[in-house]
Amino acid sequence: MGEVNRQGFLTKEGGSWKSWKKRFFVLRGGDLMYSKKPEGGSLGIISLKGAGKIEPVEYKKKEFCFSLQTPERVWYMCCSSEEDRKNWVEALAKERNRVNAPPKAIPVGGAVAPPKPIGLEDFDLLKVIGKGSFGKVFQVRKKDNGQIYAMKVLNKKAIIKRGEVQHTLTEKNILKNLVHPFLVNLYFTFQTQDKLCFVMDFVNGGELFSHLQKEKKFPEPRTKFYVAQITLGLEYLHNMGIIYRDLKPENLLLTDDGHICMTDFGISKEGLTCEDDRTSTFCGTPEYLAPEILQGVPYGKAIDWWSLGTLMYEMLAGLPPFYSKDVQLMYKKILTTELKMPEGASPEARSMLAGLLERDPTKRLQDPKIIKAHAWFKTILWDKMIAKEIPPPYVPPVKSKEDSGMVAAEFLEQKVEMSPTFSNTLLSDNQQALFKDFDTAKSDGAP
């Protein structure tokens, strides 16, 4: 685990015939990982441990190349521009220096002390930016480097009481393995006697929910931009064997520059690696539930594409397609009511909605390759979209990556403090054992 320092496409020299292949690279945790596509399927890892020179080169009449010297070999890669090459060389050199820096050891009786586990004392609490049934979310600053994060703090007792221990641990397991441009990054998890702490990206462009509430509905090009980025995020999750199960506007944040960031994996399901893998838990948000969940039959990844269709419809029309204040009536409408297309939607958008909101999951549009090739997406350049090279249609009015102006005033007005620890909030040894594998990071070498 660790911060994603840089990611994007590079053209790499490799193979027995020294051919050049375009690959998607992610620089994270001292390794340069690469795969054919951003959605997963790793082909290799280049460790920066022991790496030497990283510098721009003129190589075999290729443009914007640089070399990376490792103990095993010298790697040659080409970028899309001089600026891209400059940024890659700087990012790689910085990470190489961090990985190969001498360890900071503290002598204790002649021995080297182990790294100090990271904890609350390593962060300054700045503002309250969210609150839920299990705890609060704070904007925090890491003391050693000034980096800004969001810290979700959950009450252990409340988690146990509501039977959410497994969901919480699943969320941690999922988040620690995710590396994707449109999914939130997790950097640290640690615990106190009565609390669990997740330290993640501070994403400050506001919830898609709040933007949609304010504007009622979005123009079709803006809707298409968001749906395209969510499609890439779902494709990656599914390739990782994960069903999201809670796609809704409240779980979609905008970054400071206007890109989608998918969050909250508390009810996601991992381990569904085969096409015919199924699960059967009834969970999710009523407006976005697929028919097969309501029918109580085993379901697979197709439910996420139904939710995407519901979300796409809501962005175009202002409300989900089968919405009703009466939840039971809404469930009946999801199962039986004919789909009425949003007024003003293009023929291509209508076709996409019809495919995603097909009640029979075996007939539903759910293959990412087919979805991305749909006529509605004909103007989308997918390589540029995943690399965040397509300008977003809307940029939130924030002044910097630290600006909390898009956070609801009701949170910002709250006192910035942890809830106190009382004797009745402490756990027994057996209860503490439920969280024994929660901590995932040490303070040494962390971002």
Q: Is 246 in the active site? A: yes
d(CA 240, CA 178) in angstroms, rounded, equals: 9
State the residue for tokens 């082909």.
43
HEC sequence for 250-279: HHEEECCCCCEEECCCCCCECCCCCCCCCE
Which residue of the set 84, 122, 246, 264 is catalytic? Answer: 246
Residues belonging to the active site = 246
